[in-house]
Amino acid sequence: MLKCLRDLRRVNQKSLPSPLLAFILLAFAASGAPVRAHDVAAEMAEAAQVFLRALSPEQKALAVYEVKDAERLKWHFVPRERRGVPLKALDAGQRHLLYRLLSSGLSHRGFFKATTIMSLETILRDLEQGRGPVRDPELYYVTIFGDPAARGVWGWRVEGHHLSLNFTLVNGSVAATAPAMMGSNPAEVRDGPQRGLRVLGREEDLGRALAKSLDDTQRRQGILPGSAPADIILGPGRKAEPLKPMGINMAQLSPEQRGLLKELLNEYVRRYRAEVADETLKEIASASPENLWFAWLGGLEKGQGHYYRVQGPTFILEYDNTQNNANHIHTTWRDLKNDFGEDALRRHYEETPHPH
């Protein structure tokens, strides 16, 4: 625990406001007992209930939608106004309760990635000096879909520029954590007090390390000809669906390269609570190595535009860094059978009678 706290202070001393960091450190220090997997959904429900009780009637009217409302499926990551209650409308106490809800779904790694992505809006505002869209670190929204009961059917979302986190809960279980998006602009802060900050640096470095580890024969398969696409392919408005497998499959990798691929997947999956991440990684590991594909497009050196994709039977991970002279990252994770908990919700409504 002490080592964990020291790591958190070191990693985020530049990127988080000190009151928020103090609150998080206190929360970690106060949590002594391990959380069991079946407790996660109950913890999320409690955190959502406490958050909603702290809102005014006007704020609650902004924050709550029916679970079947079409708004639940409208995810995006551009800087714009959204449905929900914005961070800027919350007082200090309400914000702490929102952070509690956010940390009920994310690991400390994921939580700090998410909050640091929000903080980059201030850096963008300074860099652009009013020439671009509105950059506001408080223009992030939380939305609750349905009644957050411990055994109920409901969902929640935290979303804004370069961040979209969607959770669906069914009958006391976390049914889905996708679609999910994290981005970073700049990918590397090159000036100012936060110089050197790379929120998604390991996502970039591990992908490049795997691509560069391929030998000449492997490169003819794993590194595709042509330039990198301008953005991720399965973006907002496009249903999660299998893309044509491209690149090199895991069965063709050496043990060391397989280790790199697993480390890369871990970096994405372990953004979430261990109890949730373990289930996802178990599902990925159950697939045959021949059905897990890695593909790289674009330059192999830092500063050159590049894209990679990892695809398995149940998911697609995309990473793109081509904009702003390859200093602007988009990453997404899509669940091919259960985006927005679609499969779990279908089974629930088929098996459980619901009055009209």
Per-residue pLDDT tens digits for 195-252: 999 999 999 999 999 999 999 999 999 999 999 999 999 999 999 999 999 999 999 9
pLDDT value of residue 349: 58
pLDDT value of residue 2: 42
pLDDT value of residue 5: 42
The beta strands (E) that lie in the chain are given as 64-65, 85-86, 141-145, 153-160, 163-170, 173-176, 180-184, 223-224, 248-249, 293-298, 306-311, 315-321, 329-335
The answer to whether residue 13 scores a pLDDT higher than 70 is no
| 159 close to 165: Cβ distance less than 8 angstroms | yes
Q: Of 283, 281, 217, 292, which is closest to residue 258 (Cα–Cα)?
A: 292
pLDDT band at 345 (very low <50, low <70, confident <90, very high): low
| 135 close to 128: Cβ distance less than 8 angstroms | yes
- Name residue 173's beta-bridge partners: 170
Using DSSP, state whether 184 is helix, strand or coil. Answer: strand
93, burial (CB in 10 Å: exposed 0-12, middle 13-18, buried 19+): exposed
For the chain, give the percent of residues with pLDDT over 70. Answer: 85
Look up residue 238 and give its two tokens.
């496009």
The answer to whether residue 33 scores a pLDDT higher than 70 is no
Look up residue 77 and give its two tokens.
């990551």
How far apart CA 54 and CA 96 sit, in angstroms, is 11
Would residue 184 be called left, alpha or beta, if left means φ above 0 and alpha means ψ between -120 and 50 degrees? beta
pLDDT value of residue 158: 98
Mean pLDDT of 331-340: 95
The beta strands (E) that lie in 4-108 are given as 64-65, 85-86
Backbone angles phi, psi at 339, to 5 degrees: -55, 135
- Name residue 160's beta-bridge partners: 163
Mean pLDDT of 314-342: 96
pLDDT value of residue 27: 45
For the chain, give the percent of residues with pLDDT over 90. Answer: 81
pLDDT value of residue 351: 63
pLDDT value of residue 219: 98
Look up residue 208 and give its two tokens.
């490049």
Q: At what angle do helices 201-213 and 255-269 cross, to 10 degrees?
A: 160
pLDDT band at 342 (very low <50, low <70, confident <90, very high): confident
| 158 close to 102: Cβ distance less than 8 angstroms | yes
The answer to whether residue 29 scores a pLDDT higher than 50 is no
Cis-peptide, bond into residue 179, ω within 30° of zero: yes
pLDDT value of residue 4: 46
Give the tens place of pLDDT for each residue, 123-173. 999 888 878 788 999 999 999 999 999 899 999 999 999 999 999 999 999
Residue 61 contacts by C-beta under 8 Å, 6 or more apart in sequence? Answer: none
Cis-peptide, bond into residue 289, ω within 30° of zero: no
pLDDT value of residue 31: 41
Give the tens place of pLDDT for each residue, 43-91. 999 999 999 999 999 999 999 999 999 999 999 999 999 999 999 999 9
Mean pLDDT of 107-123: 97
pLDDT value of residue 102: 97
Q: How many CB atoms lie within 10 A of CB 128?
A: 11
- Name residue 307's beta-bridge partners: 297, 320
Q: How many CB atoms lie within 10 A of CB 33?
A: 6
Residue 218 Cα distances to 250, 293, 297, 353, angstroms: 11, 12, 14, 53
pLDDT value of residue 133: 82
The residue ranking higher by pLDDT, 255 or 356, is: 255
The answer to whether residue 17 scores a pLDDT higher than 90 is no
pLDDT value of residue 130: 76
Domain limits of the chain?
2-176, 201-344
The residue ranking higher by pLDDT, 131 or 189, is: 189
Task: Report if pTM > 0.75.
Answer: yes
The answer to whether residue 105 scores a pLDDT higher than 80 is yes
